Structure 1
């Protein structure tokens, strides 16, 4: 996809309030037919389910999914501040999304500039900027468990980098992902985006970014785990009945 196509697709998703990889659903269980059976709960308890998962689709069909809130774009001053602190202009596509669509909050956890969507520590992309990190890298998304996606703003290619401190290496574990920001966002729109993952090459022992095949293998493991969890929920409901 070209930059304009990516921009329009993201703008449409945000306008339709269908912009997050995670949705909030009222508690329930999948029954044997794949339907959503509400579970009594106190207060305003909500569960987080992955967008497009069987649980999400079933809850959506039952009217048990909370609508996502509208997103607001960033101010010109906030974007200018981010570029000044970074010391480089943001990629044109990212800059336009911030100014015209949303100050973060969409996709896998895209971070905003000042006043925008933060990580789980309350930090925006601007707050995450650190002079000890590689020059020109801008923290564009937070995946959880300390894992971030960065975009290289030091050149015109806007290539993506991952940061994964969970390998047991030094805390600052940066590695190139080999795709551009445009491709990264295109993969999200197509449902093919995977979080950065640092792996040790089985042949050389060198730490590197995961290949597409390694990402797919991990996604399969996660899907199988989700199936087991959903089956346990269903089994538990049958036992209670």
Structure 2
């Protein structure tokens, strides 16, 4: 079993445990072809791990903070961002609501599916984008083992997240 398969199994188990703990069922996985239709509509491919999460684990409702957004909601948020004054970068899909208007986003154009933080609260588009994790896989592993910035005992000085300077070239 490769690392991706192991990660998918761990995420599935954690999502299953959360259902037992909270009693709220997670949405069913997406049907075959749904991610293909999404990619056609968006004009870019979803990272394979993200597509696998949606088609094998469930259509959102699990993961860090408030969980992954259902895919249709992620698409709607992307489209709203692209048409806003914020200058939303092309190929950057918001996949999780982190509260306080912040979103965890996956850069679908990066080879590693780099994770970015959209933090609009300073009110300045030039200050709204930050590196969150080198990859979607790392972000999920951090959630699974409680070492991500979203853990309850997070210390701001521990993060290596910095501004994402390239965002303006992708608008």
Give the TM-score band, short-chain normalised.
Answer: 0.7 to 0.9
Q: Which has the higher helix share?
A: 2
* Structure 2 match to 1:189: 144
TM-score in terms of structure 2 length: 0.74
Closer, same or farther: CA 66–112 of 1 in aligned 2, 3 Å: closer
The equivalent position to 2:71 in structure 1, one of 92, 109, 113, is: 113
Structure 1 residue 181: Cα displacement: 0.5
Structure 1 residue 3: Cα displacement: 1.9
Confirm whether residue 125 of structure 1 aligns to residue 74 of structure 2.
Answer: yes
Q: Which has the higher strand share?
A: 1
The equivalent position to 1:154 in structure 2, one of 109, 116, 119, is: 109
TM-score in terms of structure 1 length: 0.54
- Helix, strand or coil at the partner of 2:13: helix
Specify the structure having the higher radius of gyration (Cα).
1
Distance 1:80 1:94 in 2: 12
- Helix, strand or coil at the partner of 1:76: coil
Closer, same or farther: CA 178–100 of 1 in aligned 2, 3 Å: closer
* Structure 2 match to 1:57: none
* Structure 2 match to 1:213: 158
- Number of aligned residues: 147
2:112, 2:134 within 8 Å by CA — same for their partners in 1? no
CA deviations on 1:77-123 (whole Å, 9 max, x unpaired) are 43223212332211111111111111011012211213xxxxxxxxx
Summarize the alignment of residues 34-53 of structure 1 with structure 2, pairs less than 5 Å apart.
none
Please list every run of at least 4 consecutive aligned residues from structure 1 whose deviation after the TM superposition is greater than 4 angstroms: none
Unpaired segments ≥5 residues, structure 1: 21-64, 115-123, 196-209, 216-241
Which has the higher relative contact order, 1 or 2, with Cα contacts under 8 A spaced 6 or more apart? 2
Task: Calculate the aligned-residue CA RMSD, in Å.
Answer: 2.7
